[in-house]
Amino acid sequence: MPLRAADILFKDRAVGTLIETASGGTRFSYAADWAEDIACCLSVTRREHEWAQGLHPFFQHLGPEGWLREQQARVAHVVEEDDLGLLLRYGADCIGAVSVKPPKGSEPPTAITEATASPGRTVSGIQKKLLVSRAGPKKPFQPAAADGIAPYIAKFNSERIATLVRNEALSLRWSAIVLGAREVNEFTLAFIPVIDEQALVLKRFDRGPNGEKLRLEDCAQILCKPRGQDYAGKYDAGYEDVAAIINRHSARPAIDLARFFRRLIVFALIGNCDAHLKNFSLLETSTGLRLSPAYDILNTAFYDGFDQTLALSINGRKVHLDTIDGDLFRDFGREIGLPDRAIEQIFADLRRQTKKAASVIRLPDAEGFDGFVTRYAEIVSNACLRILGA
C-alpha cells in the first residue's frame, strides 16, 4: 500500500503537510512560509514533528470515536482502525481550527451522502453524536451537510442507557448555576427528525458568530497522549498535568487555575468520574488561549457498574468518589499553587451557589422516591455534605 499524505489547514489556510513514514509513523511538516503555531505541541520553531508509530496524537484526537466512528468507517468503506483514512474522508471540519484534507490535485474521493455520517466533518467522543445545523431559530435541527456551517453538536442516548440526555442536561443546568452560565457549554433539548430521537444540542464554542474557526485543543492533544487501546490514553495522566498545561499555555494562568480548581470540585459534587484529558481544553480568545467552558458533564455515579474512581489521578493517586473530602481538594489546590485564602474563598462561594442550585434537583411532585431526580439529588447532596460541609 503506497504511503499516504494529507494537506493540513489552519482556519482554512494551508499550513503544511502530514505524511506517513516508511517506518509506520507519521510526520507533520510546516510550510516554508508559515510562522505561527497551530497547536501547543506543534511548535513552529521545529519545522517537522514526527511520531514513530501510527498517526501523531494531535491529529489522532481529531478523529471520531464510538458510534460515529463505526458509522463513518462503514459509509466510507474505511477500516475502522485507520485513523488517517477517516480524517482524509471526514477531516475538512474538525473540532478546533485544524483541518485535514487530501492533497491538492489528488483524485477526489467518492462523495459521502449519508446524512448521519456527517459528510466531510467529524467530532470526537464515545457517545452517539452528530454535528447539526438549522435554518432558523424555530426550524428543526438537521444533520450538517458537507458545506456551510455546523454550529451545534447533538448528543443522543445510547442503546444501553436511556437517560444520558436527561442526565447531562440536568448536570449542565446545575453546573451553570454553581459555576456561572458563561463557565458552562450552552445547550438546549431538541428532537432531531432524521434520527427520530430527542437530543442534547450543544452550541459549539470553537466557532464564531459567522462560523469562523477558533483554535481549541484538548489536554490529550497538548500532552501528545496516543489514543491507545480502547481509547485509554485520555486517562493516562493526573489533574496536576492539566494544571501544568494551564500554567504554561494560558494567557491568564492564575485566573484559569482557579477556574479549573473550582470546576474539578463541581465535577466531584455532581458525581462526574469521567473527567478525562479530553474534557479539558484551551480555547482561543481575544487575549490568547484560555480554559474553555466546561462540557461533557455527566453524573456517572448514577449508573451501577460504572467506575466510581476519578478519571485522572489527583495528588499522585487514583481516588474513589466516596472517599473524596474537602481536605483532598485543599491539598490539591496548594499543590497547583493556589493560596489558602483563594482556596477557602472558592469553598465558601461553592457552598452559597450549591444552595441556589438546589431547586434544579428538587424532587418533582409526580416522581416517586426511587425516581431519576431522587437518586440524582441524593448523590449530589451527599457529596456536598462530604466535600463542602453543606
Does 382 lie in the same domain as 262? yes
pLDDT at 52: 96
Count helices and strands (H / E) in the chain.
10, 13
CB-count burial class (<10 Å; 0-12, 13-18, 19+) for 246: buried
pLDDT of the residue at 259: 98
Residues 337 and 228 in one domain: yes
Whether residues 293 and 380 fall in one domain? yes
| Residues contacting residue 124 through CB under 8 Å, at least 6 positions apart | 61, 62, 63, 64, 65, 95, 278
Helices (H), ranges, 133-287: 164-179, 219-222, 239-249, 253-269
Q: Which of 170, 203, 236 is the last residue of a domain?
A: 203
Same domain for 197 and 74, yes or no, is: no
* Same domain, residue pair 257 and 344: yes
Specify whether 80 is located in the same domain as 51: yes
Overall domain count for the chain: 3
Secondary structure (3-state) at 105: coil
Indicate whether 32 and 101 sit together in one domain: yes
Decide which of 29 and 363 is more confident.
29
- Please identify, among 113, 142, 175, the residue that sits at the C-terminal boundary of a domain: 113
Tell whether 352 and 223 lie within a shared domain. yes
Same structural domain, 134 and 92:
no
Residues 190 and 220 in one domain: no
| Residue 19 in domain | yes
For the segment 291-306, the average pLDDT, to the nearest whole number, is 95
In a domain, 319, yes or no: yes
Show the domain range for 59.
Answer: 5-113
Q: What is the pLDDT of residues 53-92, one digit of tens each?
A: 999 999 999 999 989 999 999 999 999 999 999 999 999 9
Instruction: Kindly state whether residue 118 falls inside one of the protein's structural domains.
Output: no
Residue 291 maps to a domain: yes
CA–chain centroid gap for 323, Å, is 26
Q: What is the pTM of this model?
A: 0.95
Q: How large is the average pLDDT for residues 196-204?
A: 96
